[in-house]
A and B are shown apart, each in its own frame.
Chain A
Amino acid sequence: MARIVVITSGKGGVGKTTTSAALATGLAMEGHRTAVIDFDVGLRNLDLIMGCERRVVYDFVNVINGDANLRQALIKDKRTENLFILPASQTRDKDALTEEGVEKVLDELSQEFDYIICDSPAGIERGALMAAYFADAAIVVTNPEVSSVRDSDRMLGILSSKTRVAERGEGPLPAKLLLTRYSPERVEKGEMLSVDDVTEILSIEMLGVIPESQSVLNASNAGMPVILDAESDAGQAYRDAVARFLGEDRPHRFLTTQKKGLFGRLFKG
């Protein structure tokens, strides 16, 4: 029986797909059989971030409609063992994701996989609700910025009521926060909300803090999940987050700037 995890946020452009790719790859690297599904019907992008865009033949909606079976649609990742991608459809039909269809695909995947990562589209429309509905856990991706934090709170409200777990009366969906594009320099200048600020406002546990990093764009340019860039700060922060997700207790890194000497400080001032 697989554990289904939704990566969601409300607001767009905060790093859901980057996080889905990193988390799925990280779990697969740890030996867990992992499938990652793009729920963004009409705006397929996970394939680009994973670098498998030229190998897409069938998609999620094809499987739901019975035009293809899962075996045909799942793309086996070339870099990482145990990792499979189910791309989104490019159809503009918003009703393509039916509840029955999504449930059937997730049930079938559950037979073979340990983890199913659902990459949610932005917003709170059907695609986002479907990505979250069957989840056993949620990771809410947030930037330290007012609109993103507010939307995350809205999304947390939805997760606590409009999911199967919640409707069955099994309590709110367990959710953790992943703070991305974090800039310790700007936090220290008082220009950016800190980890503590965001934790306090949303009163939710922090799974990880990913620093603002050039390596994220480099990785997406290359079609390689940033977690594979073991040299980069963002890649290392994602590895920490995966370890915490799997129950390991790791301190958060990259939260402070490198202390500058007197010269650095004088020249900066």
Chain B
Amino acid sequence: MKGIFNYFRSPRQGSAKVAKERLQVIVARERSHRSGPDYLPALHRELLEVIRKYVQVGDEAVQMSLENQGDCEILEVNITLSEPERQV
């Protein structure tokens, strides 16, 4: 009997949870882009162009983040190269 009540009561796992998680990620990312200096997108694009002269990488290969520590700013650039294909 209890089972029947639980069936009617149980909140359906809805899509709102997914929506919230996706929004939190994208909003945080877009805010960090906004708060950065104007040249960051251009720097990002040009870094990708230089790297692509030598290695084929996707847009996600270059990750940049700007942090404030005390009175200096630290620009952290992470360049991820995909695993080189194994030579046979």
Interface pair A157/B16, CB less than 8 Å apart: no
Contacts of B31 in A (CB 8 A): 153, 157
Contacts of B13 in A (CB 8 A): 190
A190 contacts which of B7, B16, B23 (Cβ < 8 Å)?
B16
Interface pair A197/B16, CB less than 8 Å apart: yes
Could you tell me the distance between the alpha carbons of A130 and B65 in the complex, rounded to whole angstroms? 32
Say if the beta carbon of A21 comes within 8 Å of chain B.
Answer: no
Interface pair B24/A190, CB less than 8 Å apart: no
Interface pair B20/A193, CB less than 8 Å apart: yes
Interface pair B19/A193, CB less than 8 Å apart: yes
Q: Which of B20-69 contact A (CB under 8 A)?
A: 20, 22-24, 26-27, 30-31, 34
Contacts of A157 in B (CB 8 A): 30-31, 34
Instruction: Encode A184-208 as 1/0 by CB contact (under 8 A) with B.
Output: 0001111111100100111000000
Say if the beta carbon of A265 comes within 8 Å of chain B.
Answer: yes
Say if the beta carbon of A154 comes within 8 Å of chain B.
Answer: yes
Could you tell me the distance between the alpha carbons of A194 and B14 in the complex, rounded to whole angstroms? 12
Q: How far is the CB of A197 from chain B (nearest CB, A)?
A: 5
Interface size of A by CB at 8 A reads: 22
Contacts of B11 in A (CB 8 A): 188-190
Residue of A nearest to B9 (CB): A265
Could you tell me the distance between the alpha carbons of A189 and B34 in the complex, rounded to whole angstroms? 35
Q: A153-B31, A157-B31 are in contact. Are A189 and B12 (CB under 8 A)?
A: yes
Interface pair A269/B14, CB less than 8 Å apart: no
Q: A146-B22, A265-B8, A269-B7 are in contact. Are A190 and B27 (CB under 8 A)?
A: no
Contacts of B82 in A (CB 8 A): none
Could you tell me the distance between the alpha carbons of A201 and B7 in the complex, rounded to whole angstroms? 31
Say if the beta carbon of B87 comes within 8 Å of chain A.
Answer: no
Contacts of A150 in B (CB 8 A): 23, 26-27, 30
Could you tell me the distance between the alpha carbons of A149 and B16 in the complex, rounded to whole angstroms? 13
Say if the beta carbon of B17 comes within 8 Å of chain A.
Answer: yes
Q: Which of A157-198 contact B (CB under 8 A)?
A: 157, 187-194, 197
Contacts of A187 in B (CB 8 A): 16
Q: A153-B31, A189-B11 are in contact. Are A201 and B16 (CB under 8 A)?
A: no
Instruction: Encode A116-158 as 1/0 by CB contact (under 8 A) with B.
Output: 0000000000000000000000000000011001100110010
Could you tell me the distance between the alpha carbons of A265 and B8 in the complex, rounded to whole angstroms? 7
Could you tell me the distance between the alpha carbons of A20 and B68 in the complex, rounded to whole angstroms? 40
Contacts of A189 in B (CB 8 A): 11-12, 14
Could you tell me the distance between the alpha carbons of A126 and B16 in the complex, rounded to whole angstroms? 34
5 CB contacts below 8 A, A to B, read A189-B14, A190-B11, A193-B23, A200-B20, A266-B8
Q: A150-B27, A269-B7, A269-B8 are in contact. Are A190 and B15 (CB under 8 A)?
A: yes
Interface pair A191/B8, CB less than 8 Å apart: no
Contacts of B30 in A (CB 8 A): 150, 153-154, 157
